[in-house]
Structure formats: C-alpha cells, structure tokens
Amino acid sequence: MNTENRAYLSEMMEAARAFCDAGRLQDAETIYRGILDADPENVEALHLLGALLNQLRNFPASVEVMEKAVRCRPSNPVLRNNLGNALKDAGRPADAEKSYREALKRRPDFADAHSNLGWLLQSMGRLREAEQSLRKALAFEPRHAQAHNHLGMVLGDLGRLQEAKESFRRALAIHPHFPHAHHNLGITLMKLAQPAEAERALREALVLEPQLATAHSYLGDALLELGRWEEAEQSYRQALALQPAVALTHNNLGNVLRELGRLEEAEQSYRQTLALEPSLAMAHNNLGNVLRELGRLEEAERSCRQALALEPQLASAYSNLALLLNYMPGRTPAEIYAEHREFGHRFRQNDDLRPFHNIPDAERRLRIGYVSGDLRHHSVAFFIEPVLAKHDRREFEVVCYYAFPRSDATTRRLKCYVERWREVSGLNDDTLANLIREDAIDILVDLSGHTGNNRLLMFARKPAPVQVTWLGYLNTTGLDTMDWRITDTRASPEGPLDNFHSEKLLRLPESQWCYQPPEHCPNTAPPPSASAGFFTFAAFSTPAKINPGIIDLWRRLLERVPGSRLLIAASGLSSIPAEYRERFTRHGIDQQRLDLISSKPLGDYLALHSLVDVILDTFPYTGGTTTCHALWMGVPVVSLVGDTATSRGGASLLCAVDLAELVAVTPDQYLDIAASLARDPQRLATLRAGLRERVRSSALTNAGRFTRHLEKAYRTIWRSWCESQRS
C-alpha cells in the first residue's frame, strides 16, 4: 500500500472516530467497513469495528470481527482480552474465559484481563475464583477502579458486605465520577440497613447517569425505608419509565402505595408484578396483605396460600396467613391453631439447642429483653411505655431490641427508660440470636407475634432460657420454643383455649393490658345525639375486621334504632369509597345513613369521638387500641365475645374498666345492648360523663400495679426454669 493510500485510510480512521464521538455510530460503521474493504487485515480497523458493533449490541458480528483481528495478530493480549469481552456479551462464557486466559498467558501482569476474567467468573457463580482474579488485577494495578468495583460486587455476593463497601469506596477514591461504583455502594449500604447513606450514594450515581433505572429503583427502596413515601413513589415511577417491565419495581411501588393508604392502586401494582412474573411468591404475599386490608379476606387467603405453594419457606407469608385467619368468620380455634402449629413445625430451628449459662438463681436480679419493631408511633407503644417506665430496676435490668429501621419521637422517649437499647433491624436471625445470648438475657419477650416486622424465626433459635409472647398478637405463635403467652382470665378463661396454644398460658390477675392514654387529648363530649337529632353508631376499625356478618348485624341495629346513622373511620377508605359503600348497600344499609372517613392524625382521630354516641366492636377480631382510645374519649363500646383468642380482647378491656354489661355472648344480645343505650339517653349521658374517670381509676391504666403483676409473673416463670435445671 502506497503512502497516498495510507494517508487516505488514516484520514478515514480519524473520520470514523469523530463520528463515534458524535454518536453517529452507523456512519462510523460504514467507514470502518470501507477501510476493511480496502485493507482486510487492518487490525486497528477490525479492533475498533468490533468494539463499535459490541456497542451497537450486534454481538455475533462483534465476535466475528474480533476473531479476525486475533487471527491477524494472535500474540496480541489486548485483542484477546477484547475478544473475551465480545464473547462474554454474546453469551459465550466458556469461550470468553478461554480468551481471557489466552491473553494472560501472553501477558501475566495484564490487570484489565484479570479484572475482566474476575467479572466473568462472578457471572458464572464461581465467586472464590473471581475474587482471586480481581485481587491479582489489583496486585498488578492497585489503582484499577473497575477491579475494585468488581471485587466489591463479588464480596457482596459472598455476603462480606463491609469488605464490599470498602472496595466500592476505594474505586470511588480513584475515580469519583464512577456512576456504577456509587450505584453498587448504594445497594450494599441498603443491605447493611443504612438507608440514609444509601440514598446519598444512589443520588450521586444518578447525577452522573440519570438514565440508570436500577439506581432509581434502589433509591425508591432507600426512601421507603426512611419513611419518605411520596419521594419513594416518584423514584419507582422514574425507574418504570426507563424499564417498564421490571416486576420487582412494580412490587415495590405497590409497597409504597400501600404505606400511602392507596390500597386499590397498590393492588394494581402487585397484579402488574404478577403479570410480569407469575411465580414471584413475594408479590403474591404482598397482594394477600393488601387484599386483607381491603377486607377481601377469601381472596387474601388464596394469595397467601399461592405464595406458600411457590415458596414454602417464605416465613412472612405464613405469618400473614396465620394473622389473616383470625379475621375470618367461621374459622374454629382448632383450624387456626393447626395453621399456627404448621408454622412452628415448618420453621423449627431448635433440633440442636446450645445449653444456657444463665445462673439458675431464682431470686437474683433478672435481665429482661423486649423484642419489637413497634417501639415507635404505633399502637404497641401505648401499652409498653408505661411498663418500661415502671419496671423495678433493683429487680430487673431491661434491654430492648428494636427491629425497625426508623426511629421517631416515641422511640427516643422509650430509649430513656431502659439500660440498653439495641438497633437490630439490619441483623439476620442467627446474628440477632447470638447477640441475645451474649447479652445473657434471662427472659426474652416477643411483642409482635405474627404481626409485621416480627422476629419469630429468631425466637425459633431459642437464644434465651425463657421466652414469652405478649401484647402485639392475641394468639399463639405456634413455636415450641415460645414457653409462655401472657394473657388474663377474661381474654383466656381456664380451659377452652389452653389446648390451642403451643405456649403455656400465663394469666395476669386483672388485665393483660396496661394502657397509657395519648398526651394532649381533647376533652370528652356529651352524646352528640342530644343535639344532633339522630343517634350515631361507629366503628373505628380496618376494613379487614368488618366482614359481611358484621355488616348484616349492623343493618339490623339500624333498623331497631330509627333514624340512626353508622360512621366508619379507617385507614385506606379514601382509596375505596365507592366499592366499600356497595358492601353496605348489598346488605340493605341505606347510603344516606352511612358516613365513611379515612384515617386522620391522632389528634383529629381522637376528636372524631365527639361525633359518636356508641362504638360497635368488631368480631371475630375485636379492637384493642381503638377500644382503649374510645373509652378514654368517653364513648362506650359494645363487644361480642367468641370462642377464638382474638375474639375476647374486647371483653378483656371492658371488664378491666368494670363494664361487663357491655359484653355480649350472642349476636342478639349485642343488638340488645347497643339498642338499649340508644333508647336510654340519660343512662348514656351518665355513662359517658364518668367514663374517662372510670378508665383513669381502673386496672387498665394503673401502670404501677400492672407492672408489679407482670414482674411477679416473670419471677414465677423464672423460678420454674430454675427448678427445671435442678431436676
């Protein structure tokens, strides 16, 4: 080739590069092919064309061109390395590995080839070999940012998250504008339960590469963990605008919509998830949750069972099923118990329990551990705070294990009551169990049962000699390793329910509840019917608790009390008013007599009680916190007792404030009690006028006395364990 031709080809190469820089890739391809027509063995043109075709995602053509370049210069390690890249992208990992290794034979210190081989081996699941290759790359080139990034990914896959985090930080120290390293660091920080730090890393990634859909999605996860739900929704929607067919993003959008109370939209997101990935058990489980909250219980059960059919070890789905069954009319205690026991058998962890080194001294100071994700603005806090405040520190040392990633003012207040506070939301069950053993907890108390954020699988590992469940869930856990459930004689009378618990029932003498009223409550009000000209019944309950049988009974009550109205206040109602109203009209309740109000901030919610004459409790799952709030606000509650554990909570509360006359044992008696209150305005006014003081002076709010009863119970079961160690 003469000088003139070489000069022309050189100009053409420069033109092709300029087109590439300008993003005119098709024009660049045309020029490279023109060069190769004139000079078929132009290795530089072959190399650059191969890279360009790879960029255009024409992987087979890229491999073909790169192979020609290698045949022209078989000893060139750079060409063999880049052929490996093309083969990897073409889905030929074995050939790619061979090409990388051929490059390394020719140049053993070739850091890029070691790094690329490590990345390939990671994709093949050969993580230990991948780590070795990447460490070789860094030994030869310590400032190889891509190798640090790939090593971080491998370490993350190996579960070595702290090391992974450091690798990503090293990559960024070398190359601060490396979007994928910021992205991977953000993912790792999420796995380490550090959502605030993850947010910062992911936002850095998106500044550098705004079209990175997975960064938008993970940013949504971080914002969801941080409780910034509107921002999380925006991030998920941006991710879906870029990649609309990612099932997990639709699922996570459903989670945030559920938190926002937009239940029907959440349902649609979960259904979109399942349209894309029908076998995703997590999405079936989440759909079951939102269907329960919508009050569509049979559909919810089908979704939970489908989740378990797909993933039998999905513990959250089994907890959700166990919880759901308590809401469903007609389920017997035996049926509900059987499912709870199946949970206990399926997730049994105690075949090889380690011995405990706790000193079996019956009278020594005891270390009590409380485990909960609800030590925040949550209904559980109204009942655990007075106990934490009143514990006798001479007799008991208290440790709280907080299993939720966010704190609030309530959390900060609760921390002040205890000697030690552990943030454990980011710990897996084994790690948490080992921590509790190291803390030498004597009695470990579960405050969640099968409700959200529970740590029952950790309790299945039996990290404490005595384990107790109390407060958050009014039924059995089903675990062999849970020794006791705290209750009272009205919630669990001697005999009927003992056989439907895996735990022994420990009955407190007065009440299983210790209620602390909210601060800054509105004053109580006289019956609104005295001035409104009509009587108002109300239920401040989730749709899950309001089943067709209840609606039909309430219809009969409205017929008995002419002109009366029914007020329903619940979270999520704003997203389903039309469909929800139809449930009542199908049972003959005139829509003109029905008011629906969605959830409100606590102060406004409490003020709503001034619009209500009498609260109607639900069944078979009675109210708890809502009943306490109603009684404190001076509104009587009528409750119906059933034969399941969760159907007796209302009776327990009403008897604790000496209002057993408001507890019915049959549906007709429930109607009689409610109607008689409506027909006797003087009795109702007198009852309401003294109700707050009645609650204030009752066992329900006597925190000191309740805590002494609880501590006596703890001492009793501890003595029992000490006795067992001597036998």
- Residue holding tokens 């990649």? 243
Q: What is the pLDDT of residue 600?
A: 81
Whether residues 539 and 503 share a domain: the answer is no
Whether residue 597 is contained in a domain is answered as yes
Burial readout 84-95 (b: 16 or more C-beta within 10 A, e: otherwise) = bbbbbebebeeb
Cβ atoms of 201 and 183 within 8 Å: the answer is yes
Q: Measured at the alpha carbon of residue 449, what is the angle toward residues 445 and 450, in degrees to the nearest 5?
A: 160
Q: What is the pLDDT of residue 4?
A: 55
Whether residues 573 and 437 share a domain: the answer is no
Residue 351 binned pLDDT confidence (cut-offs 50, 70, 90): low
Distance between CA 602 and CA 585 in Å, rounded?
30
Instruction: Find the helix packing angle between 111-123 and 127-140, rounded to 10°.
Output: 160
Q: Which of 81, 152, 150 is nearest to 118 (CA)?
A: 150
Whether residue 243 is contained in a domain is answered as no
- Secondary structure in 3-state letters for 118-132: HHHHHHCCCHHHHHH
Instruction: Find the helix packing angle between 77-89 and 93-106, rounded to 10°.
Output: 170
Which range, of 82-96, 199-213, 609-623, averages the lowest pLDDT? 82-96
Cβ atoms of 287 and 270 within 8 Å: the answer is yes
Q: Measured at the alpha carbon of residue 431, what is the angle toward residues 438 and 414, in degrees to the nearest 5?
A: 70
Assign residue 196 the CATH number of its domain: 1.25.40.10
CA distances from 58 to 20, 51, 207 (A): 16, 10, 29
Whether residues 400 and 476 share a domain: the answer is yes
Whether residues 29 and 152 share a domain: the answer is yes
**Does the predicted model carry a pTM greater than 0.85?**
yes
Beta-carbon contacts of 309 under 8 Å, excluding residues fewer than 6 positions away, are: none
Residue 82 binned pLDDT confidence (cut-offs 50, 70, 90): confident
Whether residue 472 is contained in a domain is answered as yes
Q: Is residue 535's pLDDT more than 60?
A: yes
φ, ψ dihedrals at 341, nearest 5°: -70, -35
Q: Which of 452, 436, 445 is nearest to 486 (CA)?
A: 445
Whether residue 351 is contained in a domain is answered as no
Q: What is the pLDDT of residue 32?
A: 65
Question: In 3-state terms, the chain is what percent helix, strand and coil (to 5)?
Answer: 60, 10, 30
Q: What is the DSSP letter of 175?
A: -
Q: What is the pLDDT of residue 643?
A: 93
599: its two tokens: 């959830």
108: its two tokens: 């053993």
Q: What is the pLDDT of residue 3?
A: 57
Cβ atoms of 543 and 573 within 8 Å: the answer is yes
Instruction: Quickly list DSSP for 50-94.
Output: HHHHHHTT-HHHHHHHHHHHHHHSTT-HHHHHHHHHHHHHTT-HH
Cβ atoms of 388 and 414 within 8 Å: the answer is yes
CA distances from 12 to 9, 18, 24, 28, 31 (A): 5, 10, 14, 9, 7
Assign residue 480 the CATH number of its domain: 3.40.50.11380
Instruction: Quickly list DSSP for 189-211.
Output: HHHTT-HHHHHHHHHHHHHH-TT
Task: Let me know how many helices (H) and strands (E) the chain has, helices first.
Answer: 33, 13
Q: Is residue 403's pLDDT more than 60?
A: yes
Q: Is residue 230's pLDDT more than 90?
A: yes
Whether residue 515 is contained in a domain is answered as no
Half-sphere exposure of 468 (CA within 13 A, CB side): 25
Q: Is residue 424's pLDDT more than 60?
A: yes
266: its two tokens: 């959440």
Cβ atoms of 548 and 297 within 8 Å: the answer is no
Q: Is residue 1's pLDDT more than 60?
A: no
560-605 residue pLDDT tens: 999 999 999 988 787 788 888 999 999 899 999 999 998 789 999 9
Whether residues 74 and 173 share a domain: the answer is yes
Cβ atoms of 29 and 53 within 8 Å: the answer is yes
Q: Is residue 9's pLDDT more than 70?
A: no
Distance between CA 538 and CA 494 in Å, rounded?
33
Burial readout 385-409 (b: 16 or more C-beta within 10 A, e: otherwise) = bbbbbbbeeeebbbbbbbbbbeeee
Q: Is residue 16's pLDDT more than 70?
A: no
Which range, of 48-52, 172-176, 410-414, 613-617, averages the lowest pLDDT? 48-52
Cβ atoms of 135 and 152 within 8 Å: the answer is no
Whether residue 131 is contained in a domain is answered as yes
Final residue of a structural domain among 298, 314, 346:
346
Encoded amino acid at 331, one letter: R
Q: Which of 684, 680, 674 is nearest to 555 (CA)?
A: 674
Q: What is the pLDDT of residue 599?
A: 77
Whether residues 588 and 455 share a domain: the answer is no
Encoded amino acid at 527, one letter: P
Burial label, 381 (beta-carbon count in 10 A; 0-12, 13-18, 19+) = buried
Average pLDDT, whole number, for the chain? Answer: 93
Whether residue 517 is contained in a domain is answered as no
Q: What is the pLDDT of residue 352?
A: 66
User: Could you count the other beta carbons within 10 Å of the beta carbon of residue 128?
Assistant: 9
User: Which is more confident, 9 or 476?
Assistant: 476
264-301 residue pLDDT tens: 999 999 999 999 999 999 999 999 999 999 999 999 99
Whether residues 27 and 163 share a domain: the answer is yes
Q: What is the pLDDT of residue 29?
A: 67
Q: Which of 429, 218, 405 is nearest to 313 (CA)?
A: 429
Q: Is residue 461's pLDDT more than 80?
A: yes
Instruction: Find the helix packing angle between 315-327 and 333-346, rounded to 10°.
Output: 170
Encoded amino acid at 549, one letter: G
Final residue of a structural domain among 301, 318, 346:
346
Whether residues 500 and 556 share a domain: the answer is no
Question: Which domain does 217 fall in, by range?
Answer: 3-228
Q: Measured at the alpha carbon of residue 646, what is the angle toward residues 644 and 649, in degrees to the nearest 5?
A: 120
Whether residues 541 and 397 share a domain: the answer is no
Whether residues 316 and 376 share a domain: the answer is no
Number of domains observed in the structure of the chain: 4
CA distances from 525 to 164, 293, 609, 612 (A): 60, 31, 8, 9
Mean pLDDT on 428-450: 97
Whether residues 82 and 218 share a domain: the answer is yes
Helix runs in 158-296, H state only: 161-174, 179-191, 195-208, 213-225, 229-242, 247-259, 263-276, 281-293
Distance between CA 479 and CA 476 in Å, rounded?
8
Q: What is the pLDDT of residue 394?
A: 96
Q: What is the pLDDT of residue 85?
A: 81
Whether residues 551 and 503 share a domain: the answer is no
Residue 667 binned pLDDT confidence (cut-offs 50, 70, 90): very high
Rg from Cα positions in the chain: 33
Whether residue 452 is contained in a domain is answered as yes
- Residue holding tokens 């390293």? 181
Distance between CA 686 and CA 677 in Å, rounded?
11
Q: Give percent of the chain with pLDDT exceeding 90.
A: 81
User: Which is more confident, 440 or 102?
Assistant: 440
Distance between CA 86 and CA 116 in Å, rounded?
11
Strand partners for 539: 568
